Amino acid sequence: MIYNLLIGGAAGQGMETIASVLAKLLKRKGFDVFTLQDYMSRVRGGHNFFKICFGNEGINSHSDKIDGIIALNSNTISLHIDDLNESGFIIVDEEIDYDDNRVIKLPLKTIAKKIGNPKVFGNVALGVIIKLFNLDLNYVEELTNEKFKPEIAKENLVAFEEGYKLGDVMFSIKAKSKDNKILVNGNEAIALGALAAGCKFYSAYPTMTPSTSIMNYLSSKIKQAEIVVEQAEDEIAAINMAIGASYAGARSMTGTSGGISHNFVMVDSDEHDEYEHITDSASIRVQMNDKRLRKMEFLKKELIEPEFIGQDNFDTLLVGWGSLYSPIKEAVKLLNEDGKTKYSALIFGDVWPLPENLIKEKSNIAKDIINIEQNATGQLASLIRENTGIEFKNNILKYDGRPISAGDGDSGNN
């Protein structure tokens, strides 16, 4: 059983704290947890939301359908109510007026004011959530003590307890036995990967960009990992620092928001011999080109074929790469529950040079092949067609800036 919750409101209403506490609480209780954050680049206002999926079975992707909404403002209801299941619920403060029989109005802000801290009204709502799913308050005190200073922790604990008293049981779910999985977000995973790879220097410009938390995490590990983390005055300075550190022998890294620039970097285009001396010799030019091409042949020997998901007796083959692994895996599971058509998938990790053996083998079996990508042009499909001649007649291409889900079969497809 898997449930999908959404916490929404304006920037500055404490959603990140609320979502973080709830996700950690559910994980410690033994549930699998998957979260998704969507936010506008604003300090205050706008519309931000978190999706939290939890359950007692493996979760590979977020879902577009929602079982419950914690709405910190009325705008959240208007924007997401169409995705709410008929049996779902919407928790709001009693001040919010919205006509729908799934709305549960509660004195969240009144209780928070009585506690002495209006900011804890979100945790009052979390107490309600815990009761709705017939869960206990174990680990709540432990988490609030970890997250907040002593006085604030006490107020948040009381908020949980008061919210718990307000709620009624609507669902019942039992956690599975605990495992050794850790709960990390994407940027924490990137930072952990960098440390595992031996990164010793990181520079970045800390703006309101998606990459800032990488620097924050690495900064918290300076002593344990013996890494230098440098805050630069802009992105150009950050990349120059990383390049300089690498020239000095340090494994270096930088991060930015990934914006597109119309500026070009001019580099030396002359041929060099094996001693890095510039040369105009035609024969050396050929030798050096051949040398580079031989490196490609060595790379091909180290290629990892795409991961195959599903059973060998399939009708339709889904093909994707990189971060689409989890949603495509979930899609295969859901589609095969239907039983009419059998689905399997190939997910590429290495894409250049392109591993060709498995895609050639499986495409000969498939009655239909569907390419799934998060870009507008089908870049992997083009690469496969160029190298193997395999043509994709069906593509699912999502490029609206949001992560694809297992139910996104009709999003921007052609």
Written as one letter, the residue type at 175 is A
Q: Is the dihedral of CA 230, 233, 235, 238 positive or negative?
A: negative
Q: Is domain 307-397 annotated with CATH 3.40.50.920? A: yes
Q: Is the dihedral of CA 82, 6, 193, 233 positive or negative?
A: positive
All residues at 6 or more sequence positions from 101 whose CB lies less than 8 Å from its CB, including other chains: none
Which element (helix H / strand E) includes 73? none
Question: What is the pTM for the complete model shown?
Answer: 0.80
Per-residue confidence of the chain (414 residues) as pLDDT tens digits? 899 999 999 888 888 889 999 999 999 999 999 999 887 665 566 788 999 999 998 888 888 899 999 999 999 999 999 999 999 999 999 999 999 999 999 999 999 999 999 999 999 999 999 999 999 999 999 999 999 999 999 999 999 999 999 989 999 999 887 788 889 988 999 999 999 999 999 999 986 667 888 999 999 999 999 999 999 998 899 999 999 999 999 999 998 876 754 444 455 568 888 887 888 899 999 999 999 899 888 888 899 999 999 999 999 999 999 999 999 999 999 899 877 899 999 999 999 999 999 999 999 999 999 999 999 999 999 999 999 999 999 999 999 888 898 887 644 445
CA-wise closest residue to 218 among 236, 208, 206, 233? 206
Domain borders along the chain are 2-166, 186-255, 271-301, 307-397
- Parallel/antiparallel/unpaired status of strands 2-11 and 45-55: antiparallel
Ramachandran sector of residue 98 (left: φ over 0; alpha: ψ -120 to 50; beta: rest): beta
What are the two backbone dihedrals, phi and then psi, of residue 138, each rounded to the nearest 5 degrees?
Answer: -60, 140
Give the whole-angstrom CA distance, residue 111 versus residue 299.
63
Topology of the domain covering 2-166: Pyruvate-ferredoxin Oxidoreductase; domain 3 (3.40.920)
